[in-house]
Amino acid sequence: MKLYLKIITLNIFLFSLLFSVDSSSMEYSIDEYEVSWKAHQVGDVELSIIKTDESTYVQLYKKRGFSSSFLRLTEKESTDISNALKSTKKHFKAQKGSEKDIHELATAGKHNVMFRTSTKYGFSVIITTRDRYRTDSFSLSRKEALSIQPLLAQAGKMKKFLDESIKF
């Protein structure tokens, strides 16, 4: 599978275009930038690779109504979460048909991945940051978790592709 075929959109946002004018010509320089490659979308969830003038990272983004949430991940964090999400089907089958609320917790590096079944809301996967200074939380449906899991495993290749494709 060639990752470049997965490009849905490539948005380039130039936050600051600085220029100076002398008597004969204009000179342009890009001081700050952000390139967003929306590599995959399932339901309300987008998986993007973001390249800025400072770093390149993986972002999970979800917009629902007036609220939105995102999770910024390194390559290693993406791999750790992908490994935890591999057990989504197993947890769903074990919790299916339960008459009470159930949750099971998996550790994924700096994150916790909770597989939860609620009698009211059904099955969901919740990724939280294990950091006492941050309380990032990101919720996925079963379909979303199964769909993004293999792409999170390939985040390193996708990051490398974007870094090599776009150079300033």
Domain span at residue 102 reads: 3-165
What is the arithmetic mean of pLDDT over 136-149? Answer: 94
Sign of CA dihedral 68, 74, 77, 82: positive
> 73 with 79: CB under 8 angstroms?
no
pLDDT(71) > 60: yes
Q: Which phi and psi angles does 94 have, rounded to 5°?
A: -70, -35
Number of domains present in the structure of the chain: 1
Which pLDDT score, from 0 to 100, does residue 114 have? 96
| Separation CA 145–CA 120 (nearest Å) | 20
**Mean pLDDT along residues 87-101:** 93
Mean pLDDT of 30-36: 89
Q: How far apart are CA 74 and CA 56, in angstroms?
A: 8
Q: Could you give the CA distance from residue 85 to residue 122 in angstroms, rounded to a whole number?
A: 17
How far is the CA of 59 from the CAs of 40, 42, 65, 81, 106, in angstroms? 11, 14, 19, 13, 21
CATH number at residue 77: 3.30.2450.30
Q: What is the pLDDT of residues 106-127, one digit of tens each?
A: 999 999 999 999 999 999 999 9
pTM: 0.80
40 band by pLDDT with thresholds 50, 70 and 90: very high
Angular region, 139: left φ>0, alpha ψ -120 to 50, beta rest:
beta
3-state secondary structure of 163: helix
Structure tokens at 87: 């057990």
Instruction: Dump the DSSP string for 99-150.
Output: SS-EEEEEEETTEEEEEEEETTTEEEEEEEE-BTTB--EEEE-HHHHHHHHH
β-pair type (26-42, 111-118):
unpaired
